A = this chain, B = another copy of it.
Amino acid sequence: MQVQQNVNTASSYAQVFNLPHLGPLPELDVEQWLNTEQPLSLEQCRGRVVALYAFQMLCPSCISQALPQAKQLRQAFTHEDLVVIGLHSVFEHHSAMPEVSLRAFLQEYEIHFPVAIDRSSSMGIPHSMQNYALQGTPSLLLIDQSGRLRRHYFGPADDIQLGAEIMELVLSDV
């Protein structure tokens, strides 16, 4: 391997990730908030990066991969830099995951960041899940300090790359 040279910071930046702007993200449309005294909104998160994890409490890869990663993000970044939010978007087994079950789940898995319950719809797919065009769970949306969607993961996100992407958004000018 021959390491290349003559690279400046600007082009580095461009080549690293240069996360695309996927447009402004609509506000969360949810029924209820857990793990927070007051409801949150994406609007009030401006100036900070947001990692929004859509999950279901009976989704195996949410439990084994996405939620542990969300907890690690909460440890790696300060509250001033990153807001971690869970979005419980139930699109199957609706009657199996009521609020009382979700509350026990969060306690057993020691999830302490704010979790919103997505607003149910008559068609089965809850509202925020529809608005954000999520394909299933787990999904992870990275939102920049201006409220724009910059990354949309469906399935697992690599830890190293995710840490780097969030830092890119933390350091970028609004």
A residues sitting closer than 8 Å to B (CB atoms) are: 1-9, 11-13, 15-16, 35-38, 40, 44-45, 47-48, 58-60, 63-64, 69, 72-73, 76-81, 83, 92-93, 95-97, 100-101, 103-105, 107-109, 112-114, 145, 158-168, 170-174
B58 and A170 contact, CB distance less than 8 A: no
The residue in chain B whose Cβ has the minimal distance to the Cβ of A69 is B160
A80 to B81: give the CA distance in the assembly, Å: 27
The residue in chain B whose Cβ has the minimal distance to the Cβ of A36 is B1
B5 and A47 contact, CB distance less than 8 A: yes
Contacting A35 at CB < 8 Å: which of B1, B159, B170?
B1
The residue in chain B whose Cβ has the minimal distance to the Cβ of A35 is B1
Contacting A13 at CB < 8 Å: which of B7, B97, B109, B171?
B171
With A9-B174, A101-B101 given, is the CB distance from A158 to B76 under 8 Å? yes
With A97-B101, A168-B167 given, is the CB distance from A2 to B38 under 8 Å? yes
With A4-B80, A170-B13, A173-B9 given, is the CB distance from A158 to B72 under 8 Å? yes
With A9-B173, A97-B101, A101-B96 given, is the CB distance from A160 to B72 under 8 Å? yes
B3 and A79 contact, CB distance less than 8 A: yes
Known contacts A1-B112, A167-B168; 16 further A-B pairs (Cβ under 8 A): A1-B35, A3-B36, A3-B40, A3-B45, A3-B79, A7-B80, A12-B80, A15-B78, A59-B108, A63-B63, A72-B158, A93-B104, A93-B108, A96-B101, A96-B105, A164-B164
With A16-B167, A108-B58 given, is the CB distance from A114 to B3 under 8 Å? yes
